Amino acid sequence: MSDNRPTALVTGASAGLGEEYCRQLAERCDTIIAVARREDRLRALQAELAGTTRLVPVVADLATVEGVTRTVEALRQQGPADILINNAGFSTFGDFGRSVLEDELRVVRLQIDATLELVRAAVPFMRERGGGEIINVASVGAFLNMKQTAVYGGCKAFLVSFSRALQAELASDNIRVQCLCPGLTRTEIHDTAYFEGFDKARMPAELWMDAAPVVAASLAALGQGEVVVLPGSVNGQLAREGLQQLLQSLQ
């Protein structure tokens, strides 16, 4: 740390929740290591936040070994990170039995492999420095039947289980672990070619949140002791009761 303010590493910082984490952490952080593939977006965010924080863009595809290696190197050279936010994610959409296996494996590499690599790289530094914060972004889908996003849902369920165990292991090192489980959030994730078959308009308005309150709920919950954080009251109900029951209660 170059002053008393912490350093954060945020993956998926070029859009949606990751970009919002950078904005909401800017006042608090001396440095934010911002990772994504789209350099122009990261540069624009760097310019927007200049004067508030030092944003270091790291252009990396976290579904590849090279991209993860570049990010771990950045964590060592620009960090170490006091706050690690494993947020980058995407999903395929459709029947797993007809999907392109390589695309499904990229979902796993991005959400599971990259998360494990970055947590493993960050934790020794956090231990040495007497503490830290790790946020793994999962989904309320971790608790639902994720038909048509089976691999994505499986990864999110892994992140919930992993985060709970990790918190139990790291609590005595003053390292706080959170697994954020957002519901439908207005970002770019549903705008990819994979989601052509998904009609956003069919999902009731009550299920949607903006990125800003989701991130605010995540950061406010840090340190409150809960590993699993479901932002917004509707997502708690969704996780407990399932989609069909929730939709009936909204009618």
Residue 68 as a binder of ligand NAP (CB under 6 A): the answer is: no
Q: How far apart are CA 34 and CA 42, in angstroms?
A: 7
Among 110, 118, 135, 151, binds ligand NAP (CB under 6 A): 110
Side chain identity at residue 223, one-letter code: G
Closest distance to ligand NAP from the beta carbon of 127 (Å): 26
Residue 166, CA atoms < 13 Å, CB-side half-sphere: 24
Q: Residue 117 has which token pair?
A: 């690599």
> How far apart (Å, rounded) are the C-alpha atoms in residues 140 and 161?
13
* Least distance from ligand NAP to the Cβ atom of residue 32, Å: 13
Nearer to ligand NAP, 112 or 173 (CB): 112
How many residues would you count in the chain?
251
CB of 229 to ligand NAP, least distance (A): 12
Site string for ligand NAP, 180-219 (x = CB under 6 A): --x-xx-xxx------------------------------
**31 with 53: CB under 8 angstroms?**
yes
- Using the rule CB under 6 A, which residue among 6, 8, 10, 14 binds ligand NAP? 14
Q: Which of 38, 120, 147, 164 binds ligand NAP (CB under 6 A)?
A: 38
Binding mask 72-101 for ligand NAP (x = CB under 6 A): ---------------xxxx-----------
Rule CB under 6 A: is residue 55 a binding residue for ligand NAP?
no
Burial of 243 (0-12, 13-18, 19+ CB in 10 A): middle
Q: Cα-flanking dihedrals φ and ψ of residue 184, to 5°?
A: -60, 125
For the bound state, the minimum distance from the C-beta of residue 3 to ligand NAP, rounded and expressed in Å, comes to 27
For position 12 contacting ligand NAP by CB under 6 A, the verdict is yes
Phi-psi region of 232 (alpha: psi -120 to 50; beta: other; left: phi over 0): left
Judged by beta carbon, residue 123 or residue 138, the one nearer ligand NAP is 138
Query: Could you report how far apart the first and last alpha carbons of the chain are, in Å?
Result: 52
* Paired tokens of 108: 């796993």
Binding stretches for ligand NAP (CB under 6 A):
12-18, 36-38, 41, 61-63, 87-90, 110, 137, 139, 182, 184-185, 187-189
